[in-house]
């Protein structure tokens, strides 16, 4: 495949949703995504079930998965305890988030940037010993809901530290959907020139209807790895009005119309969107969802 899509619907997409899906429902959704040919799926997170009840039982979920060869599953971890729980559940790829601004880190996990970076370095080092792949995220990389516009130089400095520590991948996350294509082009060009595009990925939200345009801008910079969520699931509790992730079906459509191969079956994706809409009792779908359904009919 030419473009690697990491489906984050089962974690980032569901973590703020009501009703809360049970394990069987979450497993059914992941199975539907596997049938669609998703090469990477973020299945959940190892966080406190009191804080995020939507993600309770991710260890039991992992034990029941029937993953095809060549498919990579991952889970979000907030700290060292989360890493240990993920390791115990057999997860071989973990995602660790560092917010670029102090305010976002404090609001989200009540730690400073320096404290989170210390944890990140420890997890990356353990990952090398345990043969666990660590994907490091830089959240609010373009704008923070508390501090406003983010200095690209600060993002570049933290990126260099995380990649220098040995992170397998660096994901630039527009957590509140505030970035625009010009900003994306400038930042991703800078990072690609410094580190090469192969270790970089992007995570966009669609708050200002620019998610897909930002994917295109990143593609033009040589980025070939993207997070997305079926149906545009997701949102940020710290950003009033923030929409969900850029929809997987939209990203696949864009990439394949541009001539890139994703290895993902659109019919299967649309089936997964239908399933999650039924499970949550709400209509979901990306910007091209209605048109894509018509084409598949």
Choosing from 144, 202, 221, 236, the catalytic residue is 236
Whether residue 144 lies in the annotated active site: no
Please name every residue paired with 195 in a beta bridge, in sequence order, or none if there are none. none
- Show the CA angle centred on residue 216, arms to residues 92 and 204, nearest 5°: 50
Distance CA 243, CA 233 (A): 8
Q: Which letter, b or e, does each residue of 35-47 get, where b requires 16 or more Cβ atoms within 10 Å of its Cβ?
A: ebbbbbbbbbbbb
Please name every residue paired with 229 in a beta bridge, in sequence order, or none if there are none. 247
- Residues 6+ positions from 172 with CB-CB distance below 8 Å: 138, 141, 155, 159, 187, 188, 191, 200, 201, 202, 203
- Active-site residues, by number, are 236
């Amino acid at each position: 495949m030419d473009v690697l899509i990491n489906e984050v619907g089962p974690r980032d997409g569901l973590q703020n949703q009501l009703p809360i899906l049970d394990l069987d429902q979450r497993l059914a959704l992941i199975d539907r995504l596997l049938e669609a040919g998703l090469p990477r799926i973020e299945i959940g997170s190892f966080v406190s079930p009191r804080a995020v009840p939507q993600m309770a039982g991710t260890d039991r979920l992992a034990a029941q998965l029937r993953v095809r060869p060549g498919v990579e599953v991952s889970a979000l971890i907030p700290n060292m305890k989360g890493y240990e729980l993920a390791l115990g559940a057999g997860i071989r790829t973990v995602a660790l988030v560092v917010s670029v601004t102090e305010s976002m880190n404090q609001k989200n996990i009540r730690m400073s940037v320096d404290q989170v970076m210390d944890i990140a370095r420890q997890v990356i080092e353990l990952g090398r010993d345990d043969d666990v792949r660590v994907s490091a995220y830089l959240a609010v990389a373009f704008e923070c809901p508390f501090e406003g516009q983010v200095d690209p130089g600060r993002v570049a400095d933290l990126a260099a530290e995380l990649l220098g520590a040995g992170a397998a991948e660096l994901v630039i996350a527009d957590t509140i959907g505030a970035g625009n294509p010009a900003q994306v082009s400038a930042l991703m060009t800078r990072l690609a020139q410094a580190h090469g595009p192969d270790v970089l990925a992007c995570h966009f939200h669609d708050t200002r209807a620019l998610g897909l345009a930002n994917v295109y801008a990143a593609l033009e910079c040589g980025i070939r790895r993207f997070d997305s969520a079926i149906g545009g699931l997701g949102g940020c509790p710290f950003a009033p009005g923030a929409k969900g992730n850029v929809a997987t079906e939209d990203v696949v459509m864009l990439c394949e119309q541009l001539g890139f191969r994703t290895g993902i079956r659109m019919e299967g994706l649309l089936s997964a969107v239908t399933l999650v809409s039924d499970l949550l009792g709400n209509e979901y779908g990306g910007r091209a969802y209605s048109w894509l359904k018509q084409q598949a009919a």
